């Protein structure tokens, strides 16, 4: 059950107060393990290096958690993945304030050496392979035709790339379809608070733009 909560934490689905408790318990386990077996510091670093030596794929996270769990425990393995996912310095500080100097050194070493690679492996392991991981987008005015067009360059977690180009009307139609699909999910809890807030802000900007008065094209032909 505890591992399930850690898996939820990696998906940012755990309340802040419970995050504090899970971090405290895992940090205590890590500290106790390194005190009992000081050699695990070097062994764990070597294990991480071995797993991350190959190019990350959707199975890398599982191999990493398995290697670290055998040494330090499943919750500690997930703690190290959680630290690397985002706000690394803040999360490191949240952990090291609770532990002894040797454990502080271990956490800082792992975060300093491997956080970027662990973050990539964790994102790949938790993601849908065909989901997008990065998008570059443009809104362009074609100087020849005088028409706007939009372009999206998507990078998927599996490494594939997709390019979409569409007119403004096509863009709004697609946004309407995607909103309908989101409504069909029917469960507010599956969306993170940050994602919801970002969407509401972007939607408000769009509404303001769409509600602007349309300039009149009527020609005044009345005589003075």
- pLDDT score recorded for residue 216: 59
User: Which residues, other chains included, contact 117 with Cβ-Cβ below 8 Å and sequence gap of 6+?
Assistant: 52, 56
110 falls within a domain: yes
221 falls within a domain: no
Q: Are residues 83 and 141 in the same domain?
A: no
- pLDDT score recorded for residue 39: 93
Q: Are residues 98 and 24 in the same domain?
A: yes
Q: Which among 191, 185, 187 has a CA at the least distance from the CA of 12?
A: 191
Q: What is the dihedral of CA 10, 16, 17, 18, to 10 degrees?
A: -10
Question: For residue 121, with 0-12 CB atoms within 10 Å meaning exposed, 13-18 middle and 19 or more buried, which class applies?
Answer: buried
219 falls within a domain: no
- pLDDT score recorded for residue 4: 75
End position of a domain, from candidates 126, 158, 188: 126
- pLDDT score recorded for residue 224: 41
Q: Are residues 98 and 57 in the same domain?
A: yes
- pLDDT score recorded for residue 2: 53
Q: Are residues 112 and 190 in the same domain?
A: no
Q: Are residues 138 and 117 in the same domain?
A: no
- pLDDT score recorded for residue 129: 81
Q: Are residues 20 and 94 in the same domain?
A: yes
State the pTM of this model. Answer: 0.68
Contact 20, 5 (CB under 8 A): no
Could you give the CA distance from residue 110 to residue 48 in angstroms, rounded to a whole number? Answer: 9
34 falls within a domain: yes
What residues pair up with 166 in beta bridges, in sequence order?
A: 150
Q: Are residues 48 and 12 in the same domain?
A: yes
51 falls within a domain: yes
Range of the domain at 114: 2-126
Q: Are residues 111 and 181 in the same domain?
A: no
- pLDDT score recorded for residue 218: 52
Q: Are residues 156 and 195 in the same domain?
A: no
Domain tally, the chain:
3
Q: Are residues 60 and 109 in the same domain?
A: yes
- pLDDT score recorded for residue 13: 82
45 falls within a domain: yes
194 falls within a domain: yes
224 falls within a domain: no
Q: Are residues 12 and 49 in the same domain?
A: yes
Could you give the CA distance from residue 190 to residue 172 in angstroms, rounded to a whole number? Answer: 24
* pLDDT < 70 positions in the chain: 1-3, 216-224
End position of a domain, from candidates 98, 126, 154: 126
Q: Are residues 33 and 83 in the same domain?
A: yes
138 backbone dihedrals φ, ψ, rounded to 5° = -140, 150
- pLDDT score recorded for residue 17: 86
């Amino acid at each position: 059950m505890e591992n399930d909560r850690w898996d939820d934490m990696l998906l940012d689905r755990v309340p802040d107060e419970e995050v504090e408790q899970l971090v405290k318990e895992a940090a205590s386990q890590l500290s106790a393990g390194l005190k009992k077996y000081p050699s695990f510091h070097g062994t764990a670093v070597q294990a991480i290096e071995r797993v991350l030596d190959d190019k990350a794929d959707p199975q890398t996270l599982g191999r990493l958690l398995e290697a670290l769990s055998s040494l330090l425990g499943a919750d500690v393995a997930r703690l190290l993945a959680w630290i690397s996912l985002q706000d690394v310095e803040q999360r490191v500080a949240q952990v090291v304030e609770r532990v002894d100097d040797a454990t502080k050194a271990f956490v800082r070493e792992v975060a300093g050496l491997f956080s970027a690679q662990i973050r990539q492996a964790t994102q790949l392991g938790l993601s849908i392979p065909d989901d997008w991981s990065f998008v570059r987008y443009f809104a362009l005015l074609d100087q020849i035709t005088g028409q706007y067009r939009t372009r999206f360059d998507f990078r998927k977690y599996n490494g594939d790339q997709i390019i979409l180009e569409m007119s403004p009307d096509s863009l709004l139609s697609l946004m309407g379809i995607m909103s309908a699909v989101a409504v069909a999910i029917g469960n507010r809890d599956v969306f993170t608070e940050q994602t919801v807030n970002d969407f509401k802000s972007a939607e408000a900007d769009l509404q303001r733009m769409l509600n602007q008065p349309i300039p009149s094209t009527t020609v005044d032909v009345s005589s003075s």
